[in-house]
Amino acid sequence: MRPRSGLDPGSVWAQRLRQLEQRLRTKEERIVVLETENAALHLKLAEYQGLAGRSTHEVLQLYSARGQQQKLQRSSVVTQLHGAIKRLKQDLKSLRSFALELSKDFQHQSKTYLYQVLTAVQGIQLQNEAMQMFQIKAFDLEQSLQEVTERYEKEKQKRRALHNSLVELRGNIRVHCRIRPLLPFDAAAGCSISQDRQRNFSEKVAYAADDETVLVKCSRPGHASINKTFQFERVYSALESQDTVFADVAPLLTSLLDGYNVCIMAYGQTGSGKTYTMLGPQLEENFAFSTEDESELGIIPRATQEVFRLISEKPPGSYWVEVSVVEVYNNDIFDLLAKDSCGKVFGVKRDVVTTREGKSDVPLLTHETVENASEFLHLVNKGLQLRVRHPTLVHAHSSRSHLVVTLTITTIVSGDNFGTSCEDEQTSQRLNKEVSCTFPQKMRDNKSTSSSRASSPTQLEATEKLKQVKTRLQLVDLAGSECVGMSGVTGAALRETSFINRSLSALADVLGAIAEQRSHVPYRNSKLTHLLQDSVGGDAKLLVMLCISPDQKYLTESMQSLGFGTRARQVQRGQVKKKNFPVSSKAK
């Protein structure tokens, strides 16, 4: 290779030589560094080898010591095992001797126990024989008790039947008493009651001692408790159902078709269960009674169902039923079935008068014809929606008026036999079937308009032979008597309470006048007594359903109700008469 022109070859080679010398020095320096590190590593390796030698020697020493220790432990364990074996042999000898003694004792005791068992078996056999004799005697006593119980029940039924007959003859008022259970609202009611009564909060003081006796525990601070009893025709405990209550009411309904008027009224303080007993549970939104649960229905819907059931067993067209619903509010009578020009039901004020025959009557009162229980319940529910209610401290839905639901049953009987059959219960039901099947419809049609067509002599003669007998079933849910201090009412509600208490007081005065056989009975002191004059005065079989609360804080009100029932039970009105007045069809 020839050097480039213009460059000195000697300088190029000198520069190249210097570069190579510099690289050689760098390599030599690197070799020196590596040799130094290698020496240091050799030193460390020698140090570690020394340490490894010492560790190996120590490990060998540890193995040797461990072997010696294990030998010593083995010899110690063997020595301990020999000692334990000796002790076990000694214990085994002791156990053998103890087992021999125990076997001897067991044999002796087994003989003793066997003798005792044989003696006990003999005693048990004797006891079994005695037990069999006792069982035979007990069986005989049970049969005797059952016979005595059956005789007692029969005599009780006879006594009750005789008592009812005596009640019929004397015209006494039947009084039943129902004690409601303690309810949740009892814990919140009566916030204004005294501290003494609050201490006895929700204490039960009224009980059904039996099915004819109410027991009331009367106590005052600092005095001994006194038990008072009240006797009635029937007493219902808090556990008895609506079915049980109605079972004792149902026989009265048969009298309706036999020609008797019947009146059933519920009496008691606010919140004692009158409306529940008469109607059943009510819906809060419109106060109508619920028909969903038939077991909870009250006397009014059940009585209607029973009446229509009895009518269904009679010849078709021989009966028809009309219903009216009124309330007595602030000593005024309101027709709850009256309708306006648009057909909407609204309460219309009516008046009660006394007819020439001395009977009470409400002119222009609305009477709706019903053909079954459903129609009746529909009408009553309409009327209930107009009934006045007002919340009090005792009851959130307190009724502020007396409710009177009346079923008027018109019976078509033959005029030929009417004069003699009215005194005979069976022949009074004999009907002229050929004409009466269509007669009720004609009678309803004639209420608004009279026929302009002349009847044929045959039709007129057949119609005149048919007579009508009207009987009434009055179902009364009285407003509750209440203490103003406990109910906490003011303003308009206080005025309502005043009218309620005055009307109930007037009812008590009427019963007192009848019981004392006064010449004047103050029926007209109240619209309520004037309206119920016929029922209370002896023209109807009357049943008063007392409703009381068992709570201590209502003791005064419960005693007042029980006193009212006791006085009502003593009233003798004379024997109730059957309806025997014939009314010709043209008079209707």
Residue 332 phi/psi, 5° resolution? -125, 145
Helix (H) or strand (E) segment spanning residue 358 = none
- Distance separating the N- and C-terminal Cα atoms of the chain: 161
Q: Is 361 exposed, middle or buried (0-12, 13-18, 19+ CB in 10 A)?
A: middle
Q: CA-to-CA distance for 275 and 246, rounded, in angstroms?
A: 14
Give the annotated binding-site residues: 268-275
What are the percentages of helix, strand and coil residues in the chain, rounded to 5?
55, 20, 30
Beta-carbon contacts of residue 318 (< 8 Å; ≥ 6 apart): 411, 412, 431, 433, 436
d(CA 231, CA 134): 40
Contact 587, 463 (CB under 8 A): no
**Which residue in 507, 471, 487 sits closest to 266, CA to CA?**
507
Identify residue 465 by its one-letter amino acid code: K
CB 568 within 8 A of CB 511: yes
Cross-strand bridge partners of residue 247: none
Binding-site sequence positions for ATP: 268-275
Give which of 390, 380, 444, 387 is closest to 412, Cα–Cα: 444
How is residue 36 written in tokens? Answer: 């130094």
